[in-house]
Amino acid sequence: MTFGGVSYRTLRVWQRNGDVFLRLWHAELVWPIVEPILIILALGLGLGTFVEVGGDQTYMQFLAPGILAVYPMWASVGECGWGSYVRMSMQHTFDAIIATPVNLEDVIAAEILWGMTRGLISTMYILAVMLAFTPSYGLVDSPLVILVPLVAVLQGIMFASISMSYTSTAVSLASLNYFFSLVVTPMFWLGGVFFPLDSLPRGFQVLAWFLPVSHVAAIDRALVEGNLHWSHLGDLVWVLVVSAVFFRLAIFLMRRRLIK
């Protein structure tokens, strides 16, 4: 049985990527844990001494939920960018897999699923850091934070699908730099992670609304702070729409590239 061409074999391809990761996990263990600690401490305690965000909230408390949105984004995008390109064009893993009963839709869905998994792993690292710092800095204010991993699953699928869509058109490994510079980096800085969006000029606020990461940051911040309201349902709907569109686009573009 398949759904849109995607079958249960997707899980086998996802398992293959997971097995490779488990063989190399020790090489990737330290930095995903150290980086959020450095960012939260350096910006929260360093820059935070010069920044006021209003009310009784410290800059570190404002910053930490945003980190939950952008660093897992980097993990998902990187895996379905450089990682998928290497497997597709340099190692020819995709060609080898689709020579079996596994179809192309299974392969691309598994790549997106694996990109989501990497983003989820990054989310759990950051949550652990935030919880460890909470007694001293009050970073987590609500039990709703337990819903953050569910949001991470959705955001991982979304960012992995966006990245895979671009990877399907990349002519070289170096060309991925354009995607990261022109798409991912603006989302990183303009997604409401490092400063409130309502402090931006109106034009930038409109632009930020279309950036998927701004909606993820809004949901994560609401869950961490316990300030969830109906407007966040709109954020969730936008994440689901973008995910569905780019998931289908990634499969369409990959089929056009790989199936002769």
Segment among 26-30, 34-38, 107-111, 162-166 with least mean pLDDT: 26-30
pLDDT for 1: 47
As a whole number, the mean pLDDT across the chain is 90
Q: What is the pLDDT of residue 3?
A: 58
pLDDT score recorded for residue 44: 80
Residue 49 in this model has a pLDDT that exceeds 80: no
Q: Show the DSSP H helices in the chain as ranges.
A: 9-24, 30-41, 59-78, 84-85, 93-98, 104-137, 148-167, 176-179, 185-190, 202-210, 212-225, 231-258
Over residues 174-181, the mean pLDDT reads 94
Tokens of 245: 């569109």
At residue 11, the pLDDT reads 95
Tokens 């303009």 sit at which residue? Answer: 190
Give residue limits of the domains in the chain. Answer: 2-258
Q: State pTM to two decimals.
A: 0.93
Residue 163 corresponds to which tokens in the numbers above? Answer: 């990245």
Percent of the chain at pLDDT above 90? 71
**218-250 confidence digits (pLDDT tens):** 999 999 999 999 999 999 999 999 999 999 999
| pLDDT for residue 40 | 81
The more confident residue out of 12 and 47 is 12
Average pLDDT over residues 126-153: 93
Mean pLDDT of 82-87: 96
B/e letters for 38-74, b = 16+ CB within 10 Å, e = fewer, are ebbeebbeeebeeeebeeeebbbbbbbbbbbbbbbbb
pLDDT of the residue at 9: 93
> What pLDDT does 94 receive?
95
